[in-house]
Chain A
């Protein structure tokens, strides 16, 4: 699996025919840096909440995060509607949403703990327990499946030395199966934290993992 085989790790349409850069496709230059206070209130509920950096003890919420939480609350006619964005914010900081975190968020919004647990456990993107620095979610739904997604998933498990849902011993990787990620024209699609890696074949998996390890070493 040479690096050359994996021309443009990480973005759509990786067939070697294109002249756009990864930043062009991801839009990262246009997006720039997002402030922790969430920027404009209209976009405050929208920041990525699956990050490599996690602090399970982080307070809910302080400093710019408190500011963002207040902006979010101001965008909805009810306190309840801020629940999902608030849980997102909690996961962004802590990396997972424990029962204690759910109860804390319930207290912040004046909702019952039972209600919040019912909501939080309904949604699959809330990690109910800690996950690795990189949560690797491989789509195995129909379009990716037709193009070899089962082999891609098997390759991620093999090369991380883990079972499905288990975290690797170095704490770097947790591999999971995902439902359709809406990137069906670029199979197989793999969501790694907040990024999509597209057109991933089983042969590309070692190169993807190498890239992630480099990023982990760089303090990503």
Chain B
């Protein structure tokens, strides 16, 4: 079997080159139809490019699911001031590992997507903000960008079109909050990665005070294919509200973890049991976090009828987020894992807003106390109360992101908490 794991039920649009060293090179990417998307975008012009992506129904793959074409259309039409495209490659949502695969296997796919995005918003400079830890994948992207510059695909007068698009790789220094779009802008400007109040929105006042658009790596990776084949073509997959394909990052207790590209709307249980080969050692499913650690936890029961599209996961009581499916079997200590997540959010809080700075740390201490067998039933009420105060009260959604797993885990796995509280025993601890 070739790396990475593959499955016949996949629809490989963006992931075709994963595991193929030849796909990294400019020649290899061109052989796969590369740079035809940007050629068409240059031919049809800026506005038609935006319209094509609007027609595809592509939604942002970074977690929020905002329609990409619509986002691009918010950018000013005149070019009196510089416009910037910022590619968010600060992938750091626990459970998410798709952008790194795109970058290290198909760097030209991302570069082409950045060119199309820059053209669509009238940007002459695109910054790709890479998380600092991605040294190896960044070097692959850097080499590919040098190839693209040498071939006249990036820089002045790209492909002889008269359009100038420069690209710069910007490497971060370790902070989850820089994945938040306004935190990313602050960090790019050389500040602490502190999110900013919206409005003004980035399309009006973004990086360096100029109109800016921030797109996720996977969003931009889908764009060249949409330009090359058309928006209608992209809609052959997925649902009406969630068109296209998506990379599902499956981790935790499955036999074949990895990135699988599937049409949106794919059944969750089929992903776990068939595509990923089920749960190891014949264990039973206990819980799933379907969209990265920042979304509500689902019980095994919630998963039964869940289909993996934005509206499908919402109907099952959670959120698709960035489709990072974390699978937990019946040996899982839910309280320990929620406590680990709380520790993460407390560590990564930028500290600007009191409900987040205090709330994430307080919740972490309470969860640790419960885990150690020193908790009380009142602690659960306190956790819920703190979580409610952390929801919708801050500049960004970092504290909301902890509130969701806390509230949902207490709702769905209250017995796990109570067992620890009443008897000092862990449920499921192996």
Please determine whether chains A and B interact with each other in the same assembly. yes
CB of B208 within 8 A of chain A?
A: yes
**Interface 9-mer from A21-29, A58-66, A201-209, A211-219:** A21-29
Per the 8 Å Cβ criterion, residues 352-388 of B in contact with A are: none
Interchain CB contact (< 8 A) of B208 among A39, A42, A77, A83: A77
Residue of A nearest to B260 (CB): A185
Q: Does B30 contact A (CB under 8 A)?
A: no
Q: Which of A40, A123, A126 contacts B145 (CB 8 A)?
A: A40
The answer to whether A99 has its CB under 8 Å from any CB of chain B is no
* Nearest Cβ on chain A to B18's Cβ, whole angstroms: 11
- Evaluate whether A182 and B99 lie within 8 angstroms (CB atoms) in the complex, with A42-B167, A77-B82, A145-B337 already known: yes
Among B188, B190, B249, B259, the most chain A Cβ lie within 10 Å of the Cβ of: B190
A164 within 8 A of B: no
- Asked if B12 CB lies within 8 Å of chain A CBs, one says no
Give Cα A25 to B20, complex, Å.
9
Contact A184 B249 (CB under 8 A): yes
CA gap between A146 and B208 in the complex, in Å: 41
Q: Which residues of A contact B99 (CB under 8 A)?
A: 182
Q: Check A88/B171 contact, CB under 8 A, given A48-B135, A142-B293, A184-B251.
A: yes
Also in contact, A146 and B253, with CB within 8 A (given A18-B3, A77-B82, A184-B96): yes
Interface membership of chain A positions 96-138, coded 1 if the CB is closer than 8 angstroms to chain B and 0 otherwise: 0000000000000001000000110011111000000000000
Interface of B, secondary structure class, is mixed
Cβ-defined contact, B19 with A185, below 8 A: no
Chain A's interface: helix, strand, loop or mixed, by majority?
A: loop
A40 to B: closest C-beta gap in Å? 5
Interface centre among A39, A46, A182 (most CB of B within 10 A): A182
Residues A141 and B344 in contact, CB atoms below 8 Å apart: yes
Write out the residue numbers on chain B whose beta carbons fall within 8 Å of the beta carbon of A142.
94-95, 252, 289, 293, 326, 337, 340-341
What are some 22 contacts across the A-B interface (CB < 8 A)? Answer: A30-B24, A40-B146, A42-B146, A43-B142, A46-B130, A84-B173, A88-B173, A122-B193, A124-B174, A125-B174, A142-B289, A142-B293, A145-B340, A178-B133, A180-B92, A180-B94, A182-B92, A183-B100, A186-B257, A187-B257, A191-B133, A195-B135
Using A40-B149, A184-B95 as known contacts, list a sample of 12 further A-B pairs with CB atoms less than 8 Å apart, ordered by residue number in A.
A13-B5, A18-B1, A43-B169, A45-B168, A47-B142, A50-B135, A84-B171, A146-B326, A179-B92, A179-B94, A185-B250, A195-B136
